Amino acid sequence: MSLQHILLGLLREPAAGYDLKAVFDERISHFWSAEFGQIYPTLNRLEERGLLESRVEPSEKGPNRRVYSLTADGREELLRWLGSGPAMGAERFAYLAQLYFMDALGDLHETRAFMTALKQRLREWLGRLEAIEAAVTTSHGGATEYYSDGGFHQFATLRMGILSIGSKVEWCDETLAAIDRRIALPAGVEATAECRSGRGAPSAPDGSGSGTHVGSPRGEVAS
């Protein structure tokens, strides 16, 4: 149900479906995405339900646009949703699903390559978010300031993206370090204490090929 409400929120300023796609891609991709094929039918349904109204306008650069705007009912529904408490849908991470089953590959070097690639992707993503953050913050006495006039809420969502993805990059490091320790174990050794390093462990360079495959993991002992 969230996309419907997100569209209501975005349509506090009237816009056509085409514009909304750009907003998804440029501004809110760190917490939601949507394709045309989903945006247009959803706008139709919201209009049928009386939460939106539309008018057709000529376009500068292409075919006619259907511009949607919020009705009174639509605004009311938006406020109801905002006041209904945090919506806690389950999170989904396809790459964790892959990792979860990766013992099937029987070679920790595969896992290591996977984690290295994942860390790289996450860092790129983090870099994009941090660039946006830099664009909307000013430096002051060496400390970043919480964006302090309009846009507070928007900025807070950006911060969550940055902290959350940052923690995943740290997790990649932690996991890569654990993989390296396991790879280094002589065959047959098991259950040796492998202390996790605390936050910010420096170890584990990212190159994809250190160490040799010696012991292989066995057994199915899920969490």
Residue numbers 137-156 binding its own copies by CB under 8 A: 140-141, 143-156
Q: What is the DSSP letter of 124?
A: H
Residue 64 corresponds to which tokens in the numbers above?
């006619």
Query: Mask 2-41, x = binds DNA (CB under 7 A)?
Result: xxx-----------xxxx-------------xxxxxxxxx
Q: Where are the beta strands (DSSP E) in 10-122?
A: 15-16, 52-57, 65-70
Sole binder of DNA in the list 84, 92, 186, 205 (CB under 7 A): 92
Instruction: Give the residues across from 215 on adjacent strands.
Output: none
Examine residue 74 and tell whether it contacts DNA (CB under 7 A).
no
Say how far apart CA 64 and CA 76 lie, in whole Å: 29
Q: Which of residues 90-129 bind its own copies (CB under 8 A)?
A: 90-105, 108, 110-111, 114, 117-118, 121
Q: Which does 186 bind (CB under 5 to 8 A by kind): its own copies, DNA, none?
A: none
Sole binder of its own copies in the list 14, 18, 19, 28 (CB under 8 A): 28
Q: CB within 8 A of 103, min separation 6: which ones?
A: 217, 220
With contact defined as beta carbons under 8 Å apart, do 126 and 169 qualify?
yes
Q: Which residues bind DNA (CB under 7 A)?
A: 1-4, 16-19, 33-42, 44-45, 59, 61-66, 89-90, 92
